[in-house]
């Protein structure tokens, strides 16, 4: 099953990289949407169902923590897993985010296998080894 992902980061190139790394990971991705900050993410979520939200923490307008808070306090979205993308500099923020209901966090820079492992862990669904086989041979049969 393909999962929809919302990538939230204020840097355009960071979003491009994250999308690329996810693509390289071979994780079965449906649609990937983007947003430049928390406010944009909430607007996007109005008409886009994300199976998981990957969000940076430091962003203008509305930061990742606030976004997490908003999602968790909305009964319709509360079950949506939110993964914080962090840098190693502020561990207390990460623990705060986890306490507020973040599904997990991943440190930048991450490798395709890191993000895949995390997504598999959160979304479940596919057995790691089989999934990799599957996706890679799929990609080659053209």
> Site for other proteins (CB under 8 A): which residue of 46, 47, 76, 142?
142
DSSP string for 95-134:
HHHHHTT--EEEESS--HHHHHHHHHHHH--S-HHHHHHH
Listed residue (79, 75, 53) closest to 65, CA to CA: 53
| 78 makes contact with other proteins (CB under 8 A) | no
The residue (of 36 and 52) whose beta carbon lies closer to other proteins is 36
SS3 sequence, 76-87? CCCCCCEEEEEC
CB within 8 A of 55, min separation 6: which ones?
Answer: 7, 8, 9, 38, 41, 64, 67, 68, 82, 83, 84, 85
Contact predicate 120/81, CB 8 Å: no
Q: Does 11 interact with other proteins (rule: CB under 8 A)?
A: yes
Under rule CB under 8 A, residue 39 binds other proteins? no
Candidates 81, 104, 112, 131: give the one binding other proteins (CB under 8 A): 112
Interaction residues for other proteins, span 14-33 (CB under 8 A): 14, 16-17, 20-21, 23-24, 26
Minimum distance from residue 65 beta carbon to other proteins (Å):
7
Contacts with other proteins, residue ranges (CB under 8 A):
10-14, 16-17, 20-21, 23-24, 26, 56, 58-60, 65-66, 69, 87, 89-90, 92, 96, 99-100, 106-112, 114, 133, 136-137, 139-142
């Amino acid at each position: 099953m393909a999962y929809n992902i919302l990538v939230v980061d204020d840097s355009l190139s960071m979003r491009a990289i994250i999308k690329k790394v996810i693509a390289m990971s071979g994780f079965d991705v449906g649609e990937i949407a983007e947003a430049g900050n928390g406010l944009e993410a909430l607007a996007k979520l109005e008409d886009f169902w994300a199976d998981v939200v990957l969000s940076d923490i430091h962003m203008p307008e509305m930061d990742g923590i606030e976004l997490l808070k908003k999602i968790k306090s909305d009964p319709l979205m509360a079950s949506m897993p939110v993964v914080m993308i962090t840098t190693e500099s502020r561990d207390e923020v990460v623990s705060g985010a986890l306490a507020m209901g973040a599904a997990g966090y991943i440190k930048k820079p991450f490798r395709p296998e890191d993000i895949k492992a995390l997504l598999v862990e959160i979304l479940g669904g596919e057995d790691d080894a089989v999934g990799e086989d599957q996706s890679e041979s799929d990609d080659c049969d053209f």
